[in-house]
Homo-oligomer: A and B are copies of this chain.
Amino acid sequence: MTDKEIQKRIDTLASLKTVQMYNNDFLLTWDKQEEEIRAVLTVADILRGMRDANLSPRIFDSGLALAIFRDKSTRTRFSFLSAANLLGLTAQDLDETKTQIAHGETVRETANMISFLTEVIGIRDDMYLGYGHSYMKEVSEAVREGHREGVLPRIPTLVNLQCDLDHPTQALSDLLHLIHHFGSLEALKGKKVAMTWAYSPSYGKPLSVPQGVIGLMSRFGMEIRLAYPEGYSLIPEIEELAESNSRAAGGLFSRSHSMAEAFSGADIVYPKSWAPYEVMQRRTGLLKAGDSKGLDDLEAECLQLNKRYLDWECNEQLMKQTDNALYLHCLPADISEVSCERGEVSASVFERFRLDTYRQAGYKPYIIAAMMFLSKVENPASVLSGILKEKVPRVADSG
């Protein structure tokens, strides 16, 4: 991106109302105004453009970015770390096994204890329905109390790195990928997106990716086609939200139990496994009760259930029915005959789109950095203009 192209995006940003994002968390895309969503996408593009032009968009001389992962993670962990590093923050994992959290400390106390010099807290807590989002709210309230009461000098703002409801850094990366692929956010209007379940020989995958995708994409006039086998619904309120978003944005929303129907004529397909909603609910109950026998039985039952839908595989035959669709996946995908016998996608389809899925993932560090930036800087456009003028190189002699 040339300086002029970057400046053009800064001008766009200046026209958007982002004042509510300052000192605020980013937990759910549907809590954010459309201008705020556009601001995240715009800042992500600016930060990427600057870095590619060897300009350092560092705004912190010191400060911490704290990551709490309650589920395994490679890409999100590195995306968070990369985003923090780009802005000048030092990322630190809170590894619960090394700390005293398990020893009776309350969330309220720990949240403050680790936040004295913390700017941003990223949390991934996506395992149990009804928990992840609540936990994030609890942490957010704790550090806000701490700030109000003079414990914390600044408000540590939260970034949701995946909860039980939404996966906003993923959905926004997906959206930015589509914007770059189709040319603009406006160009997405009317595009048909098949967000479908797909078979996987695994158990307990969270619902937050498909929920995040339909909750966000439905706001821009696309045609959302949600498809899954009976019993594999998402959280009903989020399906309803997507439906009403679609209506409001002049788009369409449909639900079916047929992958083929969803794929027919689609511009974009996002076939991805998730656990049945009802299984996730029972699982949460069993976990609370500490019933490990019950959990084992449920897993066996669920894997057996999945097998009835082995044909929910994104393969060449189905892809032929689309309108030359772009394949999306949040990775890692279960690839038939590669990572498992039968999976979400056939090897040939995946291989054709492999590098596209890498590019899709590549937006995430910038999306996270944009969320951080907008929550920590009151005048984002003017700060970015300043960076563009100062021209501090990120690497000396970049070739």
Contacts and interface: CB of A to CB of B under 8 A. Distances in A.
A249 interface: no
Contact of A58 (B62, B73, B78): B62
Contacts of A101: 74
Nearest to A97: B72
A74 B114 contact: yes
Given A92-B78, A104-B334, A149 B355 contact: yes
Contacts of A75: 113-114
A290 to B, nearest CB: 19
A105 interface: yes
B99 A332 contact: no
The 7 closest A-B pairs by CB, nearest first: A82-B117, A56-B61, A74-B99, A104-B339, A59-B396, A151-B358, A378-B399
Given A78-B113, A85-B117, A149-B355, 15 more contacts: A56-B61, A61-B395, A62-B85, A64-B85, A72-B103, A81-B90, A82-B117, A109-B354, A112-B361, A116-B365, A119-B395, A145-B355, A151-B359, A151-B362, A378-B398
Interface string A368-399: 00000000111100110011000011111111
A99 B72 contact: yes
Interface size class, chain A: 35 or more
A52 interface: yes
Given A73-B99, A355-B149, A396-B377, A79 B116 contact: yes
A170 to B, nearest CB: 13
A146 interface: yes
13 contacts: A22-B399, A56-B61, A59-B395, A59-B396, A64-B81, A64-B85, A119-B395, A146-B358, A151-B355, A377-B397, A378-B397, A378-B399, A383-B397
Interface in A262-292: none
